[in-house]
Structure 1
Amino acid sequence: MTQNQHYVPKFILRQFLADTDGERVAVYDKQTDKTFVTSIRNVMPETRHGKLTQTRSSPQHTKQHRRIRADNRHKGFSASGARRRTQLLSWGVCLNNMQTFGPYGNLGLAVTGIEIYMPLASDLLLCAWCPSLLSALRSDYESAARLRQTEALGRVMAGTMTARQMKESMERFHATNQPAASLLRDAAEGIPVSSNQDNMDYYNSLQTSFASRYVVCQQADFALARTFCLENPNAKHGRRMGAA
């Protein structure tokens, strides 16, 4: 007997409701370029034939999800932030990797450089990065700081820069690179990070890319999804993970 299962669990969909009373969400159809509002019972289901993995959420999953949301909002975390683009939801878990490995694939849980993103709410995103990404960012940041300091010190010793000017130069460097410094500090301390609009556009592009057909947005703002599909016609049917 076949039945519908949601490849995005309902307890996640409920965090993107456009109509809380009717439990309805705003949806963009990539294939028809149309939007509509419908019940969460009707969106992102997939008929299960025999061996497809069931994705129904358990009480433990729901309880853990609520705890994560409460903990991070208590800390003042917002993935989208005030007046910033809201999080889109489509496939759920999205993977990306900027590194390439010749004829081999680069998307996998144990692959060097992997990035994994899962929206938990319209303003909360769970992110898991390969440790090599933060290590590389930290190395680049520290190398750039040392280079700036060495160059400034050389100019001071040569008499072409005063100590005050050197201090101001280093302050400008740290101000310019504050986002990277904050990310490294917060990641090391386990503190949630607030994302800017560029970050959100990146995350939302991944959601749109992986969507097999439908994209959900609490604010019904599908401008980015539409633009992405217009610029990438092959993305209208989404991406699928496969075995190499």
Structure 2
Amino acid sequence: MTQNQHYVPKFILRQFLADTDGERVAVYDKQTDKTFVTSIRNVMAENRFNDFLFDDDWMVSFEPIACAAEDQVLPVYKKILETRRLDNSPEEKAALAFLMAFQLLRTKANRDQWQQVEELIVAKVEESGGKMQDVRGWEDWQPATENSLKRAHLLSIRNSIGEFAQIIGTKDFLLAAPADGRSFYLGDNPVCLNNMQTFGPYGNLGLAVTGI
């Protein structure tokens, strides 16, 4: 049975509606350079994005956990929308830090990175004339499947979200609004990292790096 599961929550998508009554958003597709209007049910989501087969027999779903996590932060999110201000209380910062950490980790782009890293490793090994099974520690390696990628991605969320939220929670929080006559745009990977400082070959976009 099909079930669209969002990696950007609908309560965020609802802040960008082009058609309030029909809960529709205007979408720009960078790949095709086309725009269209569609329901929020159809964007920033995939069929069974949070479900995977375990041992080829059990269907495991992360969706109830994702929904419960969203419900935990929704009251704080709504309060900020209503008051248009931050109170900078520990409770508010904790909720927002968790929301941002969860959103940073849960996206399609984050999951795709797992496959891209594997493809780069395999290509490097094969360029050297070897194969993955010859690499120490990779003797039982098998190419990633949709299920194995989903499982690895979801486990990484569990293992990293606490540390990510803690790092984000140490930062200064500011609330911004668009200027009159202007609007914000929402991307399918909506936690954006930007850094004005440079650190040479080490990069500058790590979550705990100075300047982020």
Q: Please tell me the TM-score bracket, short chain as reference.
A: 0.3 to 0.5
Q: If the length of structure 2 is used for normalisation, what is the TM-score? A: 0.46
Structure having the larger proportion of residues in strand? 1
Which structure is higher in RCO with an 8 Å CA cutoff and minimum separation 6? 1
Q: If the length of structure 1 is used for normalisation, what is the TM-score? A: 0.40
Question: Which protein is bigger by CA-based radius of gyration?
Answer: 1
